[in-house]
Amino acid sequence: MRFIALLAATFIMWTNPALAQECVPEFVDSAKTVTVSDVEVGIREVSRENFQIRVRNKGTGACSATIRFARVDGFASPDRLEYTLRSGSSALQVLPNEAAAATSESELFVGGLPSGNRGSAVPFLLSIPSEWGIAAGFRTDQLQLTLLDSTGQVTDSLFLTINVTVPPSVSLRVVGATGTNRIATINLGNITSRDVSTSDPFGIRVWSTSAYSVSFESENGGNLLHEDGRDTIPYELRMDRQLVNLSGSGEFVFPERTSSLGRVHRLRVQAGPAIGRAGGYGDRVTVTVSAV
């Protein structure tokens, strides 16, 4: 009886390690960097980046695992950019740190893990809302992906670094004037020798992810030119009550980005009293907004 019991004990010691090695999930790599450099900024704009993470079975049998997502505590840009992660139809929640309690959205089940060096590619989609209101610049964030086997035991981990560059971007729209967003017309009405003619209220709305400048260039150096190309009448243009230099470099610099609603700069055109030949007078002013 003692001999039989010894054989049974020896048999159990030999077979348990073999069973334990059937499923040992692990990441193929220990670190992964995803870089998003082609960020498009605009109304309802979303920038997306696809990437993969490979997972394999270090054992020899059937194998599945769960990937848990958590932010590395204390590692992030001061001005954090919001983003979302998806894998297939699953929207993933990133836990604030590794010690936070897991949720159903913070864990992704991965089945059918193969043996071998390449493993299985798990697809992900990184989406970044890049609407107006965000700030230009570089941001980075680091996540820790933890791999758990079917019993809930941690078998491996991977550090995922997300790098995002938001470029300096600007957009301009003319508001309160007749025409399209790019070409607008201001009508001063009749200019007489007795009265000042003033335009109706209008302006420009600017969106920018950084500091920006607004410049004005007059085709006729700040003069309304008669339709026959000979006589002129001087006029003035003001932006936010400041006189624009139309005979030289009329430029204004604003040191901060705009909100998601943009920033409206009020414009006013004024001419007269003036004496001149009857007929139509006009000038073309080019307004340029540039990121600085």
Q: In what order do the strands lie in the sheet with 46-57?
A: 25-27, 46-57, 120-129, 84-87, 90-92
Label residue 16 by pLDDT band (50, 70, 90).
very low
* One-letter identity of residue 122: V
Closest CA relative to residue 125, chosen from 81, 79, 77, 92: 92
Q: Over 70: is that where the pLDDT of 145 sits? A: yes
Averaged pLDDT for residues 207-223: 95
Handedness of CA 206, 212, 214, 215 (dihedral sign): negative
Q: Over 50: is that where the pLDDT of 204 sits? A: yes
C-alpha distances out from residue 64 to 60, 155, 178, Å? 12, 12, 64
Q: Over 90: is that where the pLDDT of 57 sits? A: yes
Label residue 181 by pLDDT band (50, 70, 90).
low
| Per-domain residue ranges of the chain | 24-166, 170-291
Q: Which residue has the higher pLDDT, 23 or 79?
A: 23
Distance CA 200, CA 118 (A): 68
Averaged pLDDT for residues 111-124: 91
**Superfamily classification of domain 24-166:** Immunoglobulins (2.60.40.10)
Q: How high is the mean pLDDT of the chain?
A: 88
Domain 24-166 identical in fold to domain 170-291: yes
Share of the chain above pLDDT 70, in %: 90
Q: Over 70: is that where the pLDDT of 10 sits? A: no
170-291 CATH choice from 2.60.40.2040, 3.30.1120.10, 3.30.559.10, 3.40.309.10: 2.60.40.2040
